[in-house]
Amino acid sequence: MPARETVKLYFDYKSPFAYLAKDPAFELPELYDVELRWIPYLLRIKGKGERSIASEWKAKYSYMDARRWANQRATPLVIKGPLKVYDSTPALVGGLYAQRHGFFRPYTDLVYRRFFERELEIDRPEDVARAIDAIAERGSASGAGYLAWATGEGEAAIAACVEEAQSDHVFGVPLFFFRGEPFWGHDRMPLLEERLTAAGLRR
């Protein structure tokens, strides 16, 4: 049986539009003969006082727009704007840890939901560790295991993701790549699916 083609997806847990892309992205391998490769990407966002008034207006509009899309879902998503600018590295490293231990989907579901409901500080490793303990099955994975891994192998793993993102010229999320062609934004997913169908990958 031939190997599945790979679709890359760069994501960040603090992006409302990556949150909107999450569920349809997880469905792609069920609909197409593809493997979806989730790659963490740290968005660099300026805080208040560091950006222009036009950028402030754009940020407010973006969250309003994200909520409009979220409210169209059969089960609407709660998207509350963050109260500060987050360095989401601890949560992204947690995502890599969850991938290695086989619980990436429940981890990602939990982190996105809790962050946008303002129930999880994704920049605090100890909070990420507690989230992992809440969902990881008994075995080799644990919050303590994450904390130990994050300061060693985890640093190297996230650095490799940064290097790959630079080589792919990643500028935002969610950003999909299929056969080298980029598709930026959850609303570009229909175009991505057109490409997958044209490639004969529809199941």
Extents of the domains making up the chain: 5-198
Average pLDDT over all residues of the chain: 94
Model confidence, pTM: 0.93
Q: With contact defined as beta carbons under 8 Å apart, do 128 and 90 qualify? A: yes
pLDDT at 138 over 80: no
Q: Tokens 């003969």 — which residue? A: 33
Residues 24, 193: Cα–Cα separation, whole Å: 11
- Radius of gyration of the chain measured on its C-alpha atoms: 17
pLDDT of residue 157: 97
pLDDT of residue 51: 73
CATH topology of domain 5-198: Glutaredoxin (3.40.30)
pLDDT of residue 2: 59
pLDDT of residue 49: 65
Taking alpha carbons only, the member of 123, 131, 88, 112 closest to residue 16 is 112
Average pLDDT over residues 178-190: 98
pLDDT at 1 over 60: no
Q: Choose the weakest-confidence range: 20-29, 42-51, 160-169, 183-192.
A: 42-51
Structure tokens at 102: 């086989």
pLDDT at 47 over 70: no
Residues 5, 116: Cα–Cα separation, whole Å: 32
pLDDT of residue 50: 73
Alpha-carbon dihedral angle through residues 197, 65, 58, 128, given to the nearest 10 degrees: -80
Q: Tokens 């609407």 — which residue? A: 76
Of 38-47, 48-57, 103-112, highest mean pLDDT: 103-112
Comparison of pLDDT for 79 and 45, the residue scoring more: 79
Phi, psi of 7 (to 5 degrees): -110, 125
